[in-house]
Amino acid sequence: MMMGKTFWIWLAWFVFLMVLNFTVPFTVLSDVPHLRGSFLFWVIWGAVAIASMFVMFLGWRESDPSAQRGPS
């Protein structure tokens, strides 16, 4: 399936987010024994991921079902 530029940008963004998710608390924040460490990181990380998804799907729109014609 041919994927557009938008797809690759979002894919790169979410791969980046996942890399942060699996590395930052285990490295940069491993010596921060405080709520301002990993707890705050993951809360912000979650909020950013969710906001990104809203941006992704808010542009969807209804289509005229009668206009759909595909191979059977």
Q: Applying CB under 8 A, does 19 fall inside the site for other proteins?
A: no
Q: Applying CB under 8 A, does 5 fall inside the site for other proteins?
A: no
DSSP 3-state helix, strand, coil percentages of the chain (rounded to 5)? 65, 0, 35
**Binds other proteins by CB under 8 A, chosen from 1, 12, 16, 19:** 1
Q: Applying CB under 8 A, does 66 fall inside the site for other proteins?
A: no
Please, how many CA atoms are within 13 Å of residue 48, restricted to the half-sphere of its CB?
13
Question: What does the binding site for other proteins look like in residue numbers (CB under 8 A)?
Answer: 1-2, 4, 6-7, 10, 14, 17-18, 21-22, 25-26, 29-35, 37-39, 42-43, 45-47, 49-50, 52-54, 56-63, 67-72
